[in-house]
Amino acid sequence: MQHYVKGFSKLSKEEKINWITTTYFTNSEAAKDILLNYLNSDDSLQKLHDEFIENTLTNFYLPYGVAPNFTINGKSYTIPMAIEESSVVAAASKAAKFWGERGGFKTTIINTEKIGQVHFLFQGTAEKLSTFFNQIKPKFFSDTADITKNMEKRGGGILNIVLKDKTHEIGNYFQLHATFNTKDSMGANFINTCLEQFAKTLEQQALEYADFTEDERAVQIVMSILSNYVPNCLVRAEVSCPIAKLSESEVIDAHEFAQKFATAVRIAEIEPYRAVTHNKGIMNGIDAVVLATGNDFRAVEAGVHAFASRSGRYSSLSHVSIQDDIFTFWLEVPLALGTVGGLTSLHPLVKFSMELLGKPSAEELMQIVAAAGLAQNFAALRSLTTTGIQQGHMKMHIMNILNQHQATKEEKQKVLDYFKETTISHSLVVDYLEKIRK
């Protein structure tokens, strides 16, 4: 059955909820209760949330946790993480403590360049367009002076604009490829506003250019938009220590562990099926911090995975070297992040996260996020190459299973006690719970 509603966006929230619950749910009152239970009791705070997006019905909560004991470039951090997956926060915290006792994380900003493009069609030769572009290039800067003046006061602005010929891929297709520094803001609105002005300038100047034919003057703007692929907005995070200090127990020899760990990383470097899961683990750490700090995790995900494919084959973001008995583990990731603008001054928990981190600059936040990603990757690979991933993960996941089956407090304790030293799986937990109940 097709359900169509006219003017849904103009309905009040109550009317929206009523239509949704009565149209799609057999028990409309129970469905309505779910939505109402997740509304904030503070009306002003709920109004703030309602205005973040359109057609808001309620709030969708994720757990907000912290990973303490991170040492990054000699500075101590407790890192906020918003994520629903069991064991991520625990793993990051454990890795942070492990490396904190071995010198901590060393991070470096490689570059902070961001990119935007004006895509357009031109009915003429590349040589003629290039001559025109070089003549009018200063006009792009002067026509955006009012837009860029505040950013330039903060040390940012437009870095460069180049003309790119893409006609070998699509007929008559060219780009204005612009680079920007947006300082502490993610800069999407700033970049897009500049690009739209570039497009207007390009169109107007082409109409007035005497050496163009009538067809050449009719430059067709296709679109003007920033790119979330920012390979030159790059941060490096690394950890290192003598191999002898890698082992915390007698379960595995330190040198054996180092070689096994390095092999696991090299497999992810050459095997895309493994690399995707390997990098997903890195993004468990990265996304959780990006989300907690009010940044755009979809943009970060898209850019990072494109970066992982830059050689033509999808590969690991992290790498290992073992030289002179020194184990070094590192990653380089592109991260276009902001600490001003967007939700950073609006969302109370985002503001809390920023204060928790010491009100970092965008560059400092890039380094914190990269360290979280590396910590998560180290923790996952250490588990995979020693005890196996499921032992720790299922211990964290067991509470979800018990809640799913509405276990009482007493039942939970009995199950947790039983599985302290026993293999855990969903079916085994359910079977034991049923045995208790009988």
Residue 3, classified by CB atoms within 10 Å of its CB into exposed (0-12), middle (13-18) or buried (19+), is exposed
Strand partners, 117: 177, 225
Does the active-site annotation cover 85? yes
Q: Give the CA angle between residues 325, 67, 277 to the nearest 5°.
A: 65
Burial of 256 (0-12, 13-18, 19+ CB in 10 A): middle
Catalytic (active site) residue 435: no
Q: Helix (H, G, I), strand (E, B), or coil: what is residue 328?
A: strand
Report, in angstroms and rounded to the nearest whole number, the Rg of the chain calculated over CA atoms.
27
CA-based angle 421:424:426, to the nearest 5?
155
Residue 33 annotated among the catalytic residues of the structure:
no
Taking the C-alpha atoms of residue 170 and residue 342, their distance in angstroms, rounded to an integer, is: 36
d(CA 407, CA 426): 14
Tokens of 76: 């101590």
Which of 179, 199, 159 is CA-nearest to residue 336? 179
Nearest to 64 by CA among 325, 341, 351: 351
In the residue annotation, 245 being an active-site residue is answered as no
Do 247 and 102 form a contact (C-beta atoms < 8 A)?
Answer: no
Annotated catalytic residue, options 50, 85, 152, 256: 85
Strands (E), 289-337: 318-323, 326-334
Give me the catalytic one of 113, 196, 287, 296: 296
Q: Quote the tokens at residue 244.
A: 């002898």
SS3 content of the chain, % helix, strand, coil (to 5): 50, 20, 30
Q: Which of 119, 183, 393, 397 is catalytic?
A: 393
* Angle 333-336-339 from CA coordinates, rounded to 5°: 125
CB 377 within 8 A of CB 284: no
Catalytic residue among 280, 305, 351, 395: 280
d(CA 289, CA 372) in angstroms, rounded, equals: 8
The helix (run of H) or strand (run of E) holding residue 160 is: strand 157-165
Q: How many whole angstroms separate alpha carbon 154 and alpha carbon 38?
A: 40
Q: Looking at the annotation, which residues are catalytic?
A: 85, 280, 296, 393
